[in-house]
Amino acid sequence: MTAFPEGTVLGYPRIGRRRELKKAVEAFWAGRIDEQELERTSAELRAATRDRLAALGLGRDDSAIPESFSYYDQVLDAAVTVGAIPARFESLRAADGTVGLAAYFTIARGEGTARRSR
């Protein structure tokens, strides 16, 4: 049986101490970095958050330090996970049903021809 964690945290700022995620996302949007660089930056931030929370006493087990990362928005994450994206973005879904990172941001920002008609 897995022991219940002694403590946990419901959420932790994911943007980074120096707004690294925000800067990386904006650089990705501007085409200054590619998807792999954005993913590398986000992985480093997640690792730093886990290390910081462990140093604060939450321990290193997965149950004490939940994953609360999002590139943009947790509600959008949930919608994409269950496939609840607006019909106007359906063409952004890959053949296997997944939504890639560039498509995710297009949905988030309502960009291009997928903008809501007025």
Residue pLDDT, tens place only, 38-67: 999 999 999 988 888 888 877 655 566 767
Whether pLDDT at 4 is above 90: no
Give the whole-angstrom CA distance, residue 58 versus residue 65. Answer: 7
How high is the pLDDT of residue 118?
43
Tokens of 86: 């607006």
Tokens of 16: 């980074």
Residue pLDDT, tens place only, 76-111: 999 999 999 989 999 999 999 899 999 999 999 887
How high is the pLDDT of residue 105?
93
Tokens 């650089």 belong to which residue?
27
Task: Report pTM.
Answer: 0.77
Give the whole-angstrom CA distance, residue 51 versus residue 43. Answer: 12
Give the whole-angstrom CA distance, residue 90 versus residue 108. Answer: 13
Task: Please compute the mean of the pLDDT values over residues 9-22 and round it to a whole number.
Answer: 85
